[in-house]
């Protein structure tokens, strides 16, 4: 009940630019938090903060090592090629991670690419069953350049599996507004190596839970 009160307060009236949570060099305002209400689309700020919370949680014992790129990574890679993003991994060895999460923003839709370094797979997760084969290929080329640049090693395409996950394999959204929440929860379950078992019915609960988690800077 106390948690519910906090969520109600966060959704309440107040200055839109009031900072509700600030950590990891990121800040989330009341206006950002309001994108978690009802059927609003999640914005970059909420998604990037949540992804960072996943990375923080996974530093604990017993979780796979995770690196999550910002929502601004993929557009930058597309527009400027490898050179434009090569400094994004300063201080991070992608090849020592177990999982790399790449949020993908497709104009009015969010999807997720998961690079599993352990299994050498690149998978595209989309809650509206769109295909992301080209996106997987683009990210594989990025990995090849990163490997060449940072450790002078060639990645062999034939050793890797790239694919779009089929709609019957993962929960799908039944409205036009929950793609961001679906993407965040795919990332949450995958980064715990858990089967993805939620459904559209969980979305209202997940939205409220994410509000609490962002304000408290910890995942429940």
Q: Which residues are catalytic?
A: 109, 126, 179
Q: Work out the widest C-alpha separation in the chain, in whole angstroms.
A: 55
How far apart CA 15 and CA 17 sit, in angstroms, is 5
What is the three-class DSSP state of 69? coil
Kindly report the backbone phi and psi dihedral angles of residue 189, in degrees, each rounded to the nearest multiple of 5, phi listed first. -65, -45
What is the three-class DSSP state of 153? coil
How far apart CA 50 and CA 219 sit, in angstroms, is 9
Contact 111, 104 (CB under 8 A): yes
E-strand stretches of 34-106: 66-68, 99-105
What is the three-class DSSP state of 27? strand
How far apart CA 63 and CA 59 sit, in angstroms, is 7
């Amino acid at each position: 009940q106390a948690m519910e009160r906090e969520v109600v307060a966060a959704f309440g009236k107040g200055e839109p630019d009031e900072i509700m949570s600030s950590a990891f060099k990121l800040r989330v305002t009341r206006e950002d938090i309001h994108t978690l209400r009802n059927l609003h689309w999640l914005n970059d700020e909420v998604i990037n903060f949540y992804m960072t919370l996943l990375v923080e949680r996974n530093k604990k014992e017993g979780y796979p090592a995770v690196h999550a790129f910002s929502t601004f990574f993929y557009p930058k890679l597309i527009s400027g090629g490898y050179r434009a993003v090569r400094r994004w991994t300063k201080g991070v060895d992608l090849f020592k991670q177990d999982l790399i999460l790449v949020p993908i923003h497709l104009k009015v839709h969010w999807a997720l690419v998961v690079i599993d370094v352990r299994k050498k797979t690149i998978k595209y997760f989309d809650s509206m069953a769109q295909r992301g084969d080209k996106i997987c290929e683009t990210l594989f080329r990025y990995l090849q350049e990163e490997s060449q640049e940072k450790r002078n090693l060639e990645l062999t395409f034939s050793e890797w599996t790239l694919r779009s996950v089929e709609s019957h394999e993962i929960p799908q959204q039944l409205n036009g507004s929950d793609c961001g929440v679906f993407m965040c929860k795919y990332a949450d379950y995958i980064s715990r190596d858990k089967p993805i078992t939620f459904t559209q019915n969980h979305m209202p609960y997940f939205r409220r839970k994410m509000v609490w988690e962002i304000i408290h800077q910890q995942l429940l």
